[in-house]
């Protein structure tokens, strides 16, 4: 990975490219389902009288986003009947996943948390599974559609679209729930997924490029199978598929990075601990502090998401201008610090002005972190295994955080909100330490002095 420096004009011009703009709509389609099985679902459950510990445990539905590496090899290698011939490999999986999200949201819309919480959770699991599959295919399309030095801009427009989807799934759903019903809100969200379907039908299928080194590694699989001609044909084909789809992506990553691969994986797993842990309790915190659903929607789900989009755009420009690693460090520090500000808010009453200030800083830093981190993960992938490797990285990013976040309600009950937010901020310290270490390794390999900016 290289940290190239562009002029401000060159960095900004990337946002005018058609494929970069397409990520706006794909990001919307990806961002819409997440809150509907996470923050918005938490608000629905809380208003229905579900206790905080149960809400925290229900948030484990989102663990499916962290497990998507399990079925990512299928998305990478398996063609879908009829759809792949019509749309191509990446887009066919996008469309199938989007239809799954729509079906799951419709099922959630007809459930009642009071009498059918189990059925609601099953429907949410379908949404999470289909949404995670959509993420796999969109990430693969994004990485394959443009060169590595465009990934910061692609990540920024993706995040902006993602947050627009979250505005609709957050504020929009809360508005609809307050003035109509939760059932009406979730039905409306299912209709909004048509944006993703139309985008999938319009964008081009990217070309996949495989390096010579990757071909040689795959050739070893062929050589192995040529010495296994005593096996049945079906067994050779199955083993070939498993080795190529499952084993080779992991071998490739460790072959390219050596022992540093473990440090990289640790950093990926720890980077989102702080903000995701805090995010599980955000809506219950606002409600318990005394804010109305309308105030939460206005400040957190509209204004706050706009600040996140500004942060994402700023992050994309800064990554193109200064490189990935320096912006990663800045974002990691800011994310931890802003969680401390929530501890101050917890000691106050429902002051809307203070809430605006707190959410401004938190969401601006979160948007910057998202653009930088997506660009970083994109640069780690081999395009021969785009979906599988990126799914591994993004799953590892979410899995520890989502699992730990499931205990957020228990921690908040035990410590109170002030100490809970301090605890969430402390969870960000390991990521800061690791990004500093990776920066030093990167500079040493590039032959730069350790104090090089």
The pLDDT > 70 percentage for the chain reads 84
State the pLDDT at residue 199: 94
User: Is residue 5 very low, low, confident or very high in pLDDT (cuts 50, 70, 90)?
Assistant: low
Residue 354 above 70 pLDDT?
Answer: yes
State the pLDDT at residue 453: 44
User: Is residue 233 very low, low, confident or very high in pLDDT (cuts 50, 70, 90)?
Assistant: low
pTM over 0.75: no
State the pLDDT at residue 40: 87
Residue predicted with more confidence, 284 or 447: 284
The answer to the question of residue 272 being in a domain is yes
The whole-angstrom distance between residue 26's C-alpha and the CA centroid of its chain comes to: 13
State the pLDDT at residue 451: 47
Residue 54 above 90 pLDDT?
Answer: no
User: What's the first-to-final CA gap in the chain, in angstroms?
Assistant: 16
State the pLDDT at residue 13: 66
Instruction: State the CATH number of the domain containing residue 69.
Output: 1.20.1250.20
Provide the number of structural domains found in the chain.
1
Q: How deeply is 444 buried, as exposed, middle or buried, from its count of CB atoms within 10 A (0-12, 13-18, 19+)?
A: exposed
Give percent helix, percent strand, percent coil of the chain, each to the nearest 5.
80, 0, 20
Residue 238 above 80 pLDDT?
Answer: no
The answer to the question of residue 450 being in a domain is no
Average pLDDT over residues 436-451: 73
What digits encode the pLDDT tens for the residues 87-97? 998 999 999 99
CA distance 310 to 453: 25
- Could you give the 3-state DSSP secondary structure of residue 281? coil
CA distance 377 to 56: 28
What digits encode the pLDDT tens for the residues 239-293? 666 666 667 777 788 888 888 989 999 998 898 888 888 877 888 888 888 888 7
Residue predicted with more confidence, 108 or 317: 108
What digits encode the pLDDT tens for the residues 15-30? 677 788 888 999 999 9
State the pLDDT at residue 224: 56
Domain that holds residue 170: 8-445
8 Å CB contact between 316 and 157:
yes
State the pLDDT at residue 27: 93
CA distance 58 to 72: 24
State the pLDDT at residue 80: 92
State the pLDDT at residue 129: 95
User: Is residue 376 very low, low, confident or very high in pLDDT (cuts 50, 70, 90)?
Assistant: confident
The answer to the question of residue 1 being in a domain is no
State the pLDDT at residue 9: 63
Residue 70 above 60 pLDDT?
Answer: yes
The whole-angstrom distance between residue 436's C-alpha and the CA centroid of its chain comes to: 23
Residue predicted with more confidence, 286 or 129: 129
Residue predicted with more confidence, 97 or 299: 97
What digits encode the pLDDT tens for the residues 301-349? 678 878 888 888 888 888 877 878 888 899 889 888 888 888 888 887 7
312-340: buried (b, 16+ CB within 10 Å) or exposed (e) per residue? bbbbbbbbbbbbbbbbbbbbbbbbbebbe
User: Is residue 176 very low, low, confident or very high in pLDDT (cuts 50, 70, 90)?
Assistant: very high
Residue 449 above 70 pLDDT?
Answer: no
The pLDDT > 90 percentage for the chain reads 24
Mean predicted lDDT score pLDDT of the chain: 82
Residue 196 above 60 pLDDT?
Answer: yes
The answer to the question of residue 75 being in a domain is yes
Residue 216 above 70 pLDDT?
Answer: no
């Amino acid at each position: 990975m290289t940290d190239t420096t562009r002029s401000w004009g060159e960095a900004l011009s990337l946002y005018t490219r058609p494929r970069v703009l397409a990520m706006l709509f794909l990001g919307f389609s990806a961002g819409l389902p997440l809150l509907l099985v996470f923050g918005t679902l938490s608000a629905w459950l809380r208003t229905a009288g579900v206790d905080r510990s149960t809400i925290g445990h229900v948030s484990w539905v989102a663990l499916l986003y962290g497990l998507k590496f399990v079925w990512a090899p299928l998305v990478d290698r398996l063609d879908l009947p009829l759809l792949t011939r019509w749309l191509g490999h990446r887009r066919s999986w996008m469309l199938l996943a989007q239809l799954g999200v729509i079906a799951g949201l419709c099922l959630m819309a007809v459930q009642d948390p009071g009498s059918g919480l189990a059925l609601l959770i099953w429907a949410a699991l379908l949404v999470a599974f289909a949404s995670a599959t959509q993420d796999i295919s969109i990430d693969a399309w994004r990485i394959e559609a443009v060169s590595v030095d465009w990934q910061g801009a692609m990540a920024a427009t993706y995040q902006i679209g993602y947050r627009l989807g979250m505005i609709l799934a957050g504020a929009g759903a809360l508005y609809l729930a307050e003035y109509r019903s939760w059932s009406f809100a979730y039905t409306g969200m299912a209709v909004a997924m048509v944006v993703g379907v139309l985008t999938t039908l319009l964008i081009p299928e990217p070309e996949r490029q495989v390096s010579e080194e990757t071909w040689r590694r795959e050739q070893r699989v062929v050589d192995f199978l040529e010495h296994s001609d005593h096996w049945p044909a079906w067994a050779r084909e199955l083993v070939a598929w498993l080795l190529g789809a499952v084993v080779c992506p992991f071998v490739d990553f460790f072959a390219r990075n050596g022992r540093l691969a473990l440090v990289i994986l640790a950093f990926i797993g720890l980077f989102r601990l702080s903000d995701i842990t805090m995010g599980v309790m955000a809506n219950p915190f606002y409600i318990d502090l005394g804010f109305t659903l309308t105030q939460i929607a206005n400040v957190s789900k509209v204004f706050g998401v706009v600040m996140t989009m500004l942060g994402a755009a700023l992050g994309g420009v800064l990554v193109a201008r200064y490189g990935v690693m320096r912006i990663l460090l800045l974002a990691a520090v800011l994310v931890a610090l802003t969680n401390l500000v929530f501890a101050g808010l917890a000691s106050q009453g429902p002051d809307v002005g203070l809430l605006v200030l707190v959410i401004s800083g938190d969401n601006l830093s979160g948007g910057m972190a998202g653009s930088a981190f997506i660009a970083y993960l994109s640069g780690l992938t081999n395009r021969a295994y785009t979906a599988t490797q990126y799914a591994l990285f993004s799953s590892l990013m979410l899995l520890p955080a989502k699992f730990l976040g499931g205990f957020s309600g228990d921690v908040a009950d035990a410590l109170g909100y002030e100490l809970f937010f301090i605890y969430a901020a402390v969870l960000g310290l390991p990521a800061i330490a690791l990004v500093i270490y990776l920066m030093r390794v990167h500079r040493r390999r590039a032959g730069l002095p350790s104090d090089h900016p």
